[in-house]
Amino acid sequence: MENNENPEVLQSSESGSPLDSLGISSESVARFLNDRDRYDQSKHVCICGHAINKHHGYEGGRGYCLTGRHECPCQKKNAVLFSNDTRYFMRKTYGLGSKHALSTGLLRLKQVGKKAYWLEEPACWHPNCTLANPLIFPVSLDKGSQIIDKPGPINVLLCESCILNMKGLAGHEGKGWIW
């Protein structure tokens, strides 16, 4: 839409876009729009896999995350992504990694040709992680920090090694057990 340049206009004119006469490039406008979305809370997506604007009442201590008919037990809203369209983050979590609502929401977004960006590059959130395993997965945890296969009150990003350690499967990296 932004790049609707007519070849005839390009030929008959020095400038490719009226913006050029203003000392403005398409790139600088795109960068501004991207930055605007980055700081716009209504574009943010929580680590639970749902839009921040579907989270209600957290300021008062007892919040709830509600998308459509799915009530998610997310305990602490924590934005990790921004997207120009957060409506596709509506899924339910069935486990870690590919089964987590953050992953299924991101795939849905990709399928409809929309984009999302990380607020911070994903890294392992485990406090004792020293393993620098580059494979990072969204994980749903219960109140006791155990990995669960359903929507959990705590959602985190963990590396493959930390997940294997928590499951008692240390040393089985690279076998595709975590996906």
Q: Which residues bind Zn ion (CB under 5 A)?
A: 46, 48, 50, 65, 72, 74, 77, 124, 126, 129, 159, 162
Considering the complex, what minimum distance in angstroms separates the CB of residue 72 from Zn ion?
A: 3
Considering the complex, what minimum distance in angstroms separates the CB of residue 90 from Zn ion?
A: 10
Considering the complex, what minimum distance in angstroms separates the CB of residue 153 from Zn ion?
A: 10
Residue nearer to Zn ion on the CB measure, 1 or 132? 132
Q: Give the integer Cα–Cα distance in Å for 71 and 33.
A: 32
Residue nearer to Zn ion on the CB measure, 17 or 141? 141
Q: Which residues contact 129 (CB under 8 A, 6 or more apart)?
A: 158, 159, 161, 162
Residue nearer to Zn ion on the CB measure, 46 or 106? 46
Which among 170, 98, 178 has a CA at the least distance from the CA of 131? 170
Q: Which residues contact 177 (CB under 8 A, 6 or more apart)?
A: 164, 169
Measured in whole angstroms, the distance separating CA 62 from the mean position of its chain's CA atoms is 23
**The tokens 């008692």 sit on which residue?**
168
Residue nearer to Zn ion on the CB measure, 17 or 49? 49
